[in-house]
Amino acid sequence: AAVRFMLMAGAPFKEQIVVPLDICEKVFYTRAVFQRIAAARQTPVVKMFKDLQGPEFARDPKRTSFAWDSIAAALLIQPELAVKMEERYVDVDATYGPNYGRSLSYKASDRADLSRPADFPDGAQKVKILLDIDRKRFWDLFVKLMTKS
């Protein structure tokens, strides 16, 4: 319900950008990224990465994980990481049940024009949805920030 409240607040925000799981689950933290961080000058953050991630990659060098929150944070720092965004109207199901928290997005169509809010379900808010990022630039920024002194 908190996400729906923030989404519906709309007015105080210059723009709202949604970073959906769709893109977050296509960007993988890999051993190659870990090695770039581990090879940097030793700082408390680099040491933490080595201590926590090193044994995991030693057990399974092909291990990957997602970068959910890191993508959202990186987009705030470097908006040009976004290479594909789309405007849509979005709503979040706040009715307790199996779809609780599920987001619903609506695109422009022959019967729905993004410039006419009345064409979309009541309460839906116009936002930008991140569909793709420049992965190389994202990981370069990530490594730079994780290895910064």
pLDDT in tens, 96-106: 899 888 888 88
- Beta-carbon-side half-sphere exposure of residue 7 (alpha carbons within 13 Å): 26
- CA–CA dist 13, 125 (Å, integer): 12
The per-residue pLDDT for 1 is: 58
The per-residue pLDDT for 22 is: 87
**CB-CB contact of 24 with 71 (8 Å):** yes
Catalogue the E-assigned strands of the chain.
Answer: 17-18, 28-29, 65-66, 82-92, 103-106, 125-133
Relative orientation angle of helices 44-59 and 135-146, to the nearest 10 degrees: 120
The per-residue pLDDT for 49 is: 94
Buried b (16+ CB within 10 A) or exposed e, 75-91: beeeeebbeebeebbbb
**Residue stretches of the chain with pLDDT short of 70:** 1-12
**39 SS3 class:** coil
